[in-house]
Amino acid sequence: MGIAVIYGSSRHNGNSEQLADLLVEGFEADKIRLSEYIIEPIRDYRHGEKGPYPDDDYHHVIERVLVQDVLVFATPIYWYGASGLTKTFIDRWSQSLREDRAGFLTKFATKTAWLIGVGDDEPRIKGNALVQQFQHIFDFTGTKFAGHILGQGNKPGDIAQDAEALAKVRDIRAKWRP
């Protein structure tokens, strides 16, 4: 059973990445930093003539994700939602749905997913929109949404002071056997 950690921060070793790393520490995980890839915005061909999709790194990244059983999405909370990197990656799933809807959804239906969000403006309250967004995404794809961790942090390393988020990581790890 494999784990893919999808980091949506533009900052390496930021708070969301640090919290995700604590969650998967000791497990073999494919760590995917979206900031290291070129993933263009979706081109919507639903209601017109289909043109070429962007020639970028999307297919490489989604293939790495789809071969794993457990997905951990780690994103800073930007403007009460997912980071642009995370959202652009998920928007491109529309391309995969157009290419092979049944196959794509069948693969996602075998996955279990976790969400980690870290922000600085009351994230356990204002981050609920992020959680709800991912609940809807996983409902659509048939993915089991195992849970979420919302943490507080701004400057790199602030997450280490969030006792509640760290306790949630410990609780999940005590029960988790990916």
Please report how many Cα atoms fall inside a 13 Å half-sphere around the Cα of residue 134, on the Cβ side.
Answer: 28
pTM over 0.85: yes
For 24-38, what is each residue's pLDDT tens digit?
999 999 999 999 999
Domains observed in the chain: 3-44+54-175 (3.40.50.360)
Per-residue pLDDT tens over the stretch 97-134: 988 999 999 999 999 999 999 999 887 888 899 999 99
| Nearest-angstrom CA–CA distance, 158 and 147 | 22
Centroid of chain to Cα 176: 18
